[in-house]
A and B are shown apart, each in its own frame.
Chain A
Amino acid sequence: MHIQELILRLQRFWADRGCLIGQPYDLEKGAGTMNPLTFFGVLGEKPWNVAYVEPSRRPADGRYGENPFRVYKHLQFQVILKPSPAAVQDLYIESLEALGIDFSKHDLRFEEDNWESPTLGAWGVGWQVVLDGMEISQFTYFQQAGGLDLKPVSAELTYGIERICMFLGGYDNIFDLVHGEVTTDDGVFPVTYGQMRQREEFELSAYSFEHADIDLHRVLFDAFEKEGWRLLKDHNHFLSAYEQALKMSHTFNVLDARGAVSTTERPGVIKRVRDLACGCAKAFLEFETADVADRADKKTKAEGGAK
C-alpha cells in the first residue's frame, strides 16, 4: 500500500468514527503528542477526538539516509480520544482492518509499554501493539500532561506510518516505499519515499551530527526559554509561550545529537523545557476554566434578564 493511501484510509476511518481531522503543527517536534491539538486537547473536561499526521524529528536517529530502517524524520499518525471509549481497543483493531489486515491470518499482542515524556511533564500507561512480532503502534492512556492529573483520561493511539507500510508491503528498505503515484500526460510515475526524502535525511543527519553550531544552539536554547517565560508571565499567552517550549525541545535534541549534553547536565536541561511546558498547561487550564465560568455567568445573567 502506498504511504498516502494508508494515511487517507486512516483519516477516513477516524473521521467516520467522530474524530476531527487535524493538521501537523508547523514547528519541529519529536512526536505527535507535542502538537497543541494533543498537548492542550487532553487537558480539561471537554470531550475531544482528533486525528492527524505529524512529521516527527529525532535528530539522534538520523543515519544519513543509509540505514534501511532508521530515519531522522518519520511520520506518526496520531489519534486522541477523550474520554477514552470503552471499546477503544476494538476501534483500534477495526482501523487496522481498514488497512486491509486480516486477523484470521495475523498475530496481535498488546505488550506493556508505559509512556513518559519528561519534557512535557506527561506520562501514561499502555502498550506497544505488536503485529506478527513487529511494533506498529503505541497505545497510551494519558494519566498526566503538563504536570496535571487528567480527568477524563484520553486514549492516545500512535501509528508508525512508514513501519506499517514497510511491514504490509514486505519492504526491506524504507526508501523503497512508494509514497504515491504522479499522473501526467506522459503516464503514471510512482514516487518513492527515497526520491522524496533521502537527500533530506542525508543533509539533516549531517546537520545534527556535524554541522549544527553548538554555541549558537546553546544561545538559542536560552533565548527561547527567556522568550517563553516573558510571553507567559507578562502576557499570560500560553500558546505562543508553548511554541517556545517546542523550540527549546528541538534545540535540545540537536545539541544532544551533537553530543554536547553531558549525562549529568541532561536532567537539568530537560527540566527547563518541562517547567515552561507545565506553565503553559496550567495557564491554559485557568483560561479554560475562567472561560467556562464566564460563559455560565453570562448565561445566568441572560436568563435572569428574560424573567
Chain B
Amino acid sequence: MSTETFLLELHCEEIPARFLTPLTSEFSTAFAAWAKAQGLAAPELEIFFSPRKLAWRGALATSQPDQTETQVGPPQRMCVDEEGQPTIQGQKFAEKWGLDFSAVRFDQPAGKKEPCAVVVLTKRGRPTIELLAEALPGLIASLHVPKAMRWGKSDFEFVRPIRNILCLFGDQVVPITVDGVTATNSTWGHRLFHRQHPEPVIIATPESYESALENAGVVVSVDVRRSRIAEQLATLAAEAGGHVVADGELLDTLAEIVEFPRIVRGDFPPAFLELPKEVLVTSLREHQKSFCIENPKGELLPCFLTAANRPDDPAGFVKSGNEWVLKARLYDARFFFAEDRKHPLSERLEKLQALTFQRELGSYYDKTGRMVAITKALATRLSTDDEHINHALEAARMAKCDLRTLMVGEFPELQGVMGGEYLKREGAHQDVWMAVKEHYRPAGADDALPGTPLGCLVSLCDKLDTVAGCFAVGLVPSGSKDPLALRRAGQGIVRILWEQGWPLPPADLISIALGIVGAKATKPAGETTEALLAFFKDRVAYQLELAGYAGSVRRSALAAGWEDLADLKARCEALSAFAEDPRFASLAQSAKRIGNILKDEIANGDFDRGLLAQAEEQVLAERLLKLEFTPDQASLLAALADLAEPLEAFFTAVMVKCEDSALRAARLNLLHRLRQAFLRVADFSLWQ
C-alpha cells in the first residue's frame, strides 16, 4: 500500500503560549481516532508549534483499503436448470450486482440449508485526500478552546483568528475551507521577515516544511527552540562569569513565545544588587521573562538574559530596550523596598485587621491569633526550651505581616520571603526570620520543606489553621473542586509530620485546631472532626504513594492504623523489606485464612493454654506470647516471619472448629490474639 505525507498548518494571530501544547495534542488524538475509523492506519502525528502556528505531519495510506463483501442470492437449484444453464432468476441476481453470470459462485453459507448463488463484491477504498477534505474542517472546528474568541463578522470561534491554512497530502493541496480561509500550499514566515519579503513561503512537499520555514525565520519545533535557547543561555552566562539561575518553567515559556530565539544579555546598574536576591529574580522573571545570572558563590551578577524573537540585534535596540524597561521596574522595586522598611514589620500586625482571610473566619489578624495559639500548643509539646518556644511564637506572630507591604502587593509570590528579609534587616533572630521566610513551603509536591524545624512548625500551624478553619465553616474540597487548595495544604502538613517524625497524631492536631477556631465554626464539631479525619487519611495514603511504597504495602499498613505517622512509616519500611522474604507469601495466606475463620465468630482473645491439645497449637501459643512482648516494629515483623512455618503446621494438623466447644473456643481465641498481633503491623486481608 502506498503512503503519502500529510501536513496541516493553521497559521493564526499570536496564540497564547499556554494553549499550544493542549491544542496540538488534542488534535492529534482526534485525528488518530478519525483515521482509525476510516480504516487508515492511525499515524503518530509529529507536532509543531510556534506563537503563530499549529501544525501536524504524518504518513497516511493514499487510500482506504479495498473491502470485500459477500452477497448471497437464491438457492443454486433455482439459478441453474438441469442442463447447467443459467435460469432467468440466476441471471437477474448477477445483473442486480452489475456482474456477468460467470462471476456467480455456488456455496453453502452458514445458516442456509443448501448451496446458494454467491457473488463477492469489492468495495474500492476512497482516496485519502477526499476523506481528509471532508473531515478536517470539522476536526478543526471541534477543537476545544478554553478561552475562545470571535473576530470580524463571523460566528466562528477559535483560540485566535486563523489567517492562513497550509494543507498538503504529498504534493497535493487538500481542498478545505475554514471560516472563509481556503487551504493552499503556502504559508507565512516570521512577521518581521515578511516586512522585507512580501511573498508567502511555498511548501512544495510536507518534508520540506521545517527547512522552508527556517529560511523564513521560523523554527517550527519547540524542542529545537528550547535547546537553542538553553545552549545560548549557558554560553552567555559563562561569558558573564557565572551560570543562569535555573528556571525550567521560564525556559519553556521562552521557547513557546518566540519563533526564532536569540538570547540577548543586558546589564543593570550594580546598585540594584542591594535588593534581596528573590526580589531581583522574581522581578526579572515576572516583568521581563529574563533569567538572572549568579556567580559560583551564589551571588547575582548585575546582568540578565532574555530571549528576542529575531535572529540578531543589529543596532543593539533589543539590549538597550530591555535594559531600559528593567531599570524602570527595578526602580519601582527599590522604591517599595525602601518604603516598606520605613516602619518595622511588626507595625503591620494591626493593619492585618483590614485584610480578609475568609468571611466567616475573619481577617488575617484573626488568623494570626489562631496560628499563634496553635503554635503555642504544639511548640510546648515538642520542646521544653523557652527560647525556642518564644522564637516559634514570634515567627507565627510576624508570619503574615508582609501581606501589607508594598513589595508583596506588587509581587504576591514573594509573600513570606519579604517578611523574612525585612525581619533579617531589623536584626531579628535567625530562627525567626528564616521561619517567616519559608513558612509557605512546601508550595507543592515538588517544593522543599522549610529548611529549619521552626519553619516547618510555623508552616504546619498556618496550614492546619487554614484546613481546620475552612472545614469548620463548611468549605470542604469535593471532586475536582478545591479552590482554596486545601488538599495541597493538607499534604504539606502530612509531609512535614512524615519527614520531621514529630509525635503529633493528626487527631490531636484536629482537636487542637478546632478548639482554637471555636465559636467561628458554623458546622457541628463532631461532623467536622470526622470529615477532617477522612481528609487526613487520604492525604496520608497519598504520602505513602509519594514515598514509593507498593500498593499492597500501602493498603495493608494503612488499614492497621495511621494515627502515629512515625509508626506507620516504620511498618511500611519493614513490610516493604519483608515482602521479598519467601516466608511472606505463606504468612499472608495464613493471615487471610485466620480472617476467614474468625468471620462471624465471637472471640475475645482469652484462652486457657492448658486446653490446647496438639503440639502444633502449643508451639503457636508460645510464639504468640513472645510476639506480644516485642516492642518495635522491625523485630515484630521478624517474629511474625518466624510464625510462617508453625502456622502452616497448625493449619495442616489442627481442626479449629472441632466438636469440643471449650477447645474450639480456645483455638478461636488463640487465632484472635494472633490476628491482633498481625494488625499491629498490617491488615493482610488487603494484601494482593
User: Do the two chains bind?
Assistant: yes
C-alpha spacing A109/B313, complex, angstroms:
15
Segment among B73-81, B146-154, B488-496 that sits at the interface with chain A: B146-154
The smallest C-beta distance from A149 to any residue of chain B, in angstroms, reads 9
Write the B195-218 contact mask toward A (1 if CB under 8 angstroms, else 0): 110000000000000000000000
Across-interface contacts of B191 in A (CB, < 8 A): 89, 93, 108
C-alpha spacing A104/B195, complex, angstroms:
8
C-alpha spacing A155/B314, complex, angstroms:
33
In the assembled complex, B228 has its CB within 8 A of some CB on chain A: no
The smallest C-beta distance from A204 to any residue of chain B, in angstroms, reads 19
Q: Are A104 and B196 in contact, with the CB atoms below 8 A?
A: yes
In the assembled complex, A153 has its CB within 8 A of some CB on chain B: yes
Q: Are A107 and B309 in contact, with the CB atoms below 8 A?
A: yes
Across-interface contacts of A262 in B (CB, < 8 A): 354, 356
The smallest C-beta distance from A133 to any residue of chain B, in angstroms, reads 4
In the assembled complex, B285 has its CB within 8 A of some CB on chain A: no
Q: Are B309 and A105 in contact, with the CB atoms below 8 A?
A: no
In the assembled complex, A268 has its CB within 8 A of some CB on chain B: no
C-alpha spacing A86/B195, complex, angstroms:
17
Q: Are A89 and B13 in contact, with the CB atoms below 8 A?
A: yes
C-alpha spacing A178/B568, complex, angstroms:
73
Q: Are A133 and B325 in contact, with the CB atoms below 8 A?
A: yes
Instruction: Tell which of A85, A114, A133, A152 has the most Cβ of chain B within 10 Å.
Output: A133
Q: Are A172 and B327 in contact, with the CB atoms below 8 A?
A: yes
Within 8 A of A (CB), among B326-353: 326-328, 331-332, 335
In the assembled complex, A68 has its CB within 8 A of some CB on chain B: yes
Across-interface contacts of A143 in B (CB, < 8 A): 149-150
Contact of A153 among B18, B152, B258 (CB under 8 A): B152
Q: Take A143-B149, A170-B324 as given contacts and tell me if A111 and B163 are in contact as well, using a CB distance cutoff of 8 Å.
A: no
Contact of B356 among A85, A132, A264 (CB under 8 A): A264
Q: Are B320 and A141 in contact, with the CB atoms below 8 A?
A: no
C-alpha spacing A161/B196, complex, angstroms:
27
In the assembled complex, B60 has its CB within 8 A of some CB on chain A: no
Q: Are B192 and A112 in contact, with the CB atoms below 8 A?
A: no
Across-interface contacts of A240 in B (CB, < 8 A): none
In the assembled complex, B189 has its CB within 8 A of some CB on chain A: no
Q: Are A104 and B152 in contact, with the CB atoms below 8 A?
A: no
C-alpha spacing A276/B397, complex, angstroms:
44
Contact of A114 among B147, B150, B322, B326 (CB under 8 A): B147
Across-interface contacts of A151 in B (CB, < 8 A): 150, 153, 155
Across-interface contacts of A86 in B (CB, < 8 A): 152, 161, 163
Q: Are A141 and B149 in contact, with the CB atoms below 8 A?
A: yes
C-alpha spacing A161/B155, complex, angstroms:
34
C-alpha spacing A134/B320, complex, angstroms:
11
Q: Are B315 and A133 in contact, with the CB atoms below 8 A?
A: no
Q: Are B321 and A134 in contact, with the CB atoms below 8 A?
A: yes
Within 8 A of B (CB), among A235-264: 262-264
The smallest C-beta distance from A224 to any residue of chain B, in angstroms, reads 26
Q: In the complex, which residue of chain B has the Cβ closest to the Cβ of A68?
A: B331
In the assembled complex, A83 has its CB within 8 A of some CB on chain B: yes
Write the A255-296 contact mask toward B (1 if CB under 8 angstroms, else 0): 000000011100000000000000000000000000000000
Contact of A83 among B153, B331, B359 (CB under 8 A): B153
The smallest C-beta distance from A183 to any residue of chain B, in angstroms, reads 31
Q: In the complex, which residue of chain A has the Cβ closest to the Cβ of B195?
A: A103
C-alpha spacing A107/B192, complex, angstroms:
9
Q: In the complex, which residue of chain B has the Cβ closest to the Cβ of A263?
A: B356
Within 8 A of B (CB), among A78-131: 83-86, 89, 93, 103-112, 114, 124-125, 127, 131
Q: In the complex, which residue of chain B has the Cβ closest to the Cβ of A174?
A: B328
Q: Are A108 and B149 in contact, with the CB atoms below 8 A?
A: no
Within 8 A of B (CB), among A134-165: 134, 141, 143, 151-153, 155
The smallest C-beta distance from B679 to any residue of chain A, in angstroms, reads 51
C-alpha spacing A108/B155, complex, angstroms:
30
Within 8 A of A (CB), among B142-169: 147, 149-153, 155, 160-161, 163
Q: Are B13 and A110 in contact, with the CB atoms below 8 A?
A: yes
Q: Are B288 and A133 in contact, with the CB atoms below 8 A?
A: yes
Write the B177-201 contact mask toward A (1 if CB under 8 angstroms, else 0): 0000000000000011001100000
C-alpha spacing A134/B355, complex, angstroms:
33
In the assembled complex, B62 has its CB within 8 A of some CB on chain A: no
Q: Size of chain B's interface in residues, with CB distance under 8 A?
A: 47
Q: Are B150 and A153 in contact, with the CB atoms below 8 A?
A: yes
Chain A's interface size range is: 35 or more
Q: Take A68-B331, A132-B321, A134-B325 as given contacts and tell me if A107 and B310 are in contact as well, using a CB distance cutoff of 8 Å.
A: yes
How many residue pairs bridge A and B at CB < 8 Å? 115
Q: Are A107 and B318 in contact, with the CB atoms below 8 A?
A: yes
Across-interface contacts of A131 in B (CB, < 8 A): 321
Across-interface contacts of A109 in B (CB, < 8 A): 14, 51, 257-258, 309
In the assembled complex, B308 has its CB within 8 A of some CB on chain A: yes
Across-interface contacts of A93 in B (CB, < 8 A): 191, 195
The smallest C-beta distance from A5 to any residue of chain B, in angstroms, reads 20
In the assembled complex, A207 has its CB within 8 A of some CB on chain B: no
Q: Take A69-B332, A151-B150 as given contacts and tell me if A112 and B309 are in contact as well, using a CB distance cutoff of 8 Å.
A: no
Q: Are A84 and B257 in contact, with the CB atoms below 8 A?
A: no
Q: Are A67 and B320 in contact, with the CB atoms below 8 A?
A: no
C-alpha spacing A124/B161, complex, angstroms:
13
In the assembled complex, A209 has its CB within 8 A of some CB on chain B: no
Across-interface contacts of B313 in A (CB, < 8 A): 107
The smallest C-beta distance from B609 to any residue of chain A, in angstroms, reads 71
In the assembled complex, A167 has its CB within 8 A of some CB on chain B: yes
C-alpha spacing A141/B160, complex, angstroms:
10
C-alpha spacing A132/B258, complex, angstroms:
13
Q: Take A131-B321, A132-B318, A152-B153 as given contacts and tell me if A125 and B163 are in contact as well, using a CB distance cutoff of 8 Å.
A: no
In the assembled complex, B127 has its CB within 8 A of some CB on chain A: no
Q: Are B192 and A108 in contact, with the CB atoms below 8 A?
A: yes
C-alpha spacing A84/B163, complex, angstroms:
13
Across-interface contacts of B335 in A (CB, < 8 A): 67
In the assembled complex, B306 has its CB within 8 A of some CB on chain A: yes
Q: Are B328 and A133 in contact, with the CB atoms below 8 A?
A: no
C-alpha spacing A67/B339, complex, angstroms:
13
In the assembled complex, B629 has its CB within 8 A of some CB on chain A: no
In the assembled complex, B17 has its CB within 8 A of some CB on chain A: yes
Q: Are A105 and B314 in contact, with the CB atoms below 8 A?
A: yes
Q: Take A67-B335, A86-B163, A133-B306 as given contacts and tell me if A107 and B321 are in contact as well, using a CB distance cutoff of 8 Å.
A: yes
In the assembled complex, B551 has its CB within 8 A of some CB on chain A: no
Across-interface contacts of B155 in A (CB, < 8 A): 151
C-alpha spacing A131/B192, complex, angstroms:
12
Within 8 A of B (CB), among A43-78: 67-70
The smallest C-beta distance from A270 to any residue of chain B, in angstroms, reads 16
C-alpha spacing A108/B257, complex, angstroms:
11
C-alpha spacing A104/B18, complex, angstroms:
29
Q: In the complex, which residue of chain A has the Cβ closest to the Cβ of B310?
A: A107
Instruction: Tell which of A86, A110, A114 has the most Cβ of chain B within 10 Å.
Output: A110
C-alpha spacing A54/B220, complex, angstroms:
40
The smallest C-beta distance from A170 to any residue of chain B, in angstroms, reads 7
C-alpha spacing A83/B313, complex, angstroms:
36
In the assembled complex, B298 has its CB within 8 A of some CB on chain A: no
Across-interface contacts of A68 in B (CB, < 8 A): 328, 331
C-alpha spacing A37/B191, complex, angstroms:
31
Q: Take A84-B151, A132-B321 as given contacts and tell me if A104 and B314 are in contact as well, using a CB distance cutoff of 8 Å.
A: yes
Q: In the complex, which residue of chain A has the Cβ closest to the Cβ of B335?
A: A67
Q: Take A104-B196, A153-B151 as given contacts and tell me if A112 and B17 are in contact as well, using a CB distance cutoff of 8 Å.
A: yes
The smallest C-beta distance from B410 to any residue of chain A, in angstroms, reads 12
C-alpha spacing A258/B89, complex, angstroms:
99
The smallest C-beta distance from B560 to any residue of chain A, in angstroms, reads 47
The smallest C-beta distance from B55 to any residue of chain A, in angstroms, reads 19
Across-interface contacts of B192 in A (CB, < 8 A): 103-104, 108
Task: List 4 tightest A-B contacts by C-beta distance, closest first.
Answer: A132-B321, A133-B322, A112-B16, A110-B14
5 A-B pairs in the complex with CB atoms less than 8 angstroms apart = A105-B315, A107-B318, A133-B325, A141-B150, A170-B324
| Additional A-B contact list (12), CB under 8 Å, known A111-B14, A132-B321, A263-B355 | A67-B332, A85-B152, A93-B191, A104-B196, A105-B315, A112-B18, A132-B317, A133-B318, A134-B321, A172-B324, A262-B356, A263-B354
